[in-house]
Amino acid sequence: MSQPKISVVIPVYNGEKYLRRCLDSVLNQTFKDIEVILVDDGSKDESGRICDEIQSKDSRVIVIHQSNSGTGFARNAGIKIARGEFLSFVDSDDYIDLSMYEKLLDCAKVNNADTCIFGYYRVRDGKIISSLKNAIEGTFTGQEAFHNIFLNALGTEPSSYADFKILWQSPCVSLYSLDLIRKNNIAFPQAGKFVSFSEDVLFNIDYFFNTKKAVCISEQFYYYCETKNSSTTSFREDRFLTNVDLYKEILNRVRNKLNDEVLFKRAEERIQRTFLAAARNCIMSISAFFSYKEGRARIRDICSNSALREVLDIYPWAKNPLKYRLFNYGLKNRRLWFLYRLGKFKK
């Protein structure tokens, strides 16, 4: 059996409602030399049967059935058996542009790149509600890749208008080198507090640190479909404290990767900005789901967090654009009503 150019890993859990739509968009690609690895993660609906049915009709499809373990475990299972030169992830309730793999592979080959990062659409109730693009475009090699990809994945410099210049937090908007993943033993967390929360972020940070040549394009190929259980339509009580743990974990990982103290300080500043953005987003979520009376104590807990207080003391947030500076002022001075009202206004 010849090696496919691209392996597509699709975790599936109780996805019968949207699975066929997803698979239609993947299997009907203009570029045909792909393998599709469906990882049925212990589905209790008809998803497993649909996976087997599709496999019986298309020799490019491989199905893994396993007990429910989570998306990261499912993706790792797919990585383990993947044979492609490149690797792509698609979630079973989303779908992709029919020309996506043809264009991405051409982009990677023309530029001799190991990574290609692209844009996506947000879809709600069948309608596109927003489009997201990379703020930077181009091909980056060596130190350019380090500064434009790895550092920008951590966050942006204080004066930057946006918190992120590249779309990277979801693995669904990147084409990866399978060889790079295996040589560097990169995987999604399989134990600990980051399973099912921010496992994508940690995978990408490890991957982008090892990227030698990457291409950023603004074109959108991926359709991210929001459901009633998505982060934009539900509230997680532990969201901020988990972001505190994530901040500390990223800081520790980057410290272990960078021996140059000057580079580490640059990286640390960007990680701190992302942490402040997480605090801001948590307050926006509180403002969206609760009255001030109900949300006040939650905002106070965020403002009083020791890790956040430390960052506010050392991070040069006065250099931030006004909209972020206002939030950071409120956090620093524990202005609860002010923060709640700011949270009512989206970015």
The band of 227, judged by pLDDT with boundaries at 50, 70 and 90, is confident
> Residue 103's CB: how many other CB atoms inside 10 A?
17
> ∠113-155-123 over CA atoms, to 5°?
75
Handedness of CA 201, 207, 209, 215 (dihedral sign): negative
Distance CA 194, CA 213 (A): 28
Contact (Cβ atoms closer than 8 angstroms) between residue 131 and residue 220:
yes
Alpha-carbon distances, residue 311 vs 161, 263, 316, 334 (angstroms): 20, 18, 9, 14
H/E stretch holding 36 reads strand 34-41
Q: Give the CA dihedral 176, 177, 179, 180, nearest 10 degrees.
A: -80
Prediction pTM value: 0.93
Nearest to residue 271, comparing CAs of 290, 292, 294, 252? 252
Residue 191 clears pLDDT 80, i.e. is over it: no
Cα angle 85, 90, 92 (rounded to 5 degrees) comes to 140
Give the SS3 label for residue 220: strand
The residue count of the chain comes to 347
Name the region of 221 (left: φ>0; alpha: ψ -120 to 50; beta: rest).
Answer: alpha
The rounded distance, in Å, linking the Cα atoms of 181 and 183 is 6
101-122 confidence digits (pLDDT tens): 999 999 999 999 999 999 999 9
Burial of 347 (0-12, 13-18, 19+ CB in 10 A): exposed
199 pLDDT band, cuts 50/70/90, is: confident
- DSSP letters spanning 112-149: T-SEEEEEEEEEETTEEEEEE--S--EEEETHHHIIII
C-alpha to C-alpha distance for 222 and 94, rounded to whole angstroms: 8
Residue 180 to residue 188: CA distance in whole angstroms = 14
> For 47-62, what is the mean pLDDT?
97
For 58-74, what is each residue's pLDDT tens digit? 999 999 999 998 999 99
pLDDT at 192 over 80: no
Neighbours of 264 (CB within 10 A): 16
Asked whether residue 229 carries a pLDDT value surpassing 60, the answer given is no
Mean pLDDT for the stretch of residues 75-81: 97
Q: How far apart are CA 195 and CA 183, in angstroms?
A: 23
Spell out the CATH class of 6-226.
alpha beta
Q: Is 76 exposed, middle or buried (0-12, 13-18, 19+ CB in 10 A)?
A: buried
pLDDT digits (tens, 9 = 90+) for 6-43: 999 999 999 999 999 999 999 999 999 999 999 999 99
Contact of 130 with 292, CB cutoff 8 Å:
no
* Cα angle for residues 200, 169, 74 (degrees, 5° grid): 25
Domain range summary for the chain, segments of one domain joined by +: 6-226, 239-343
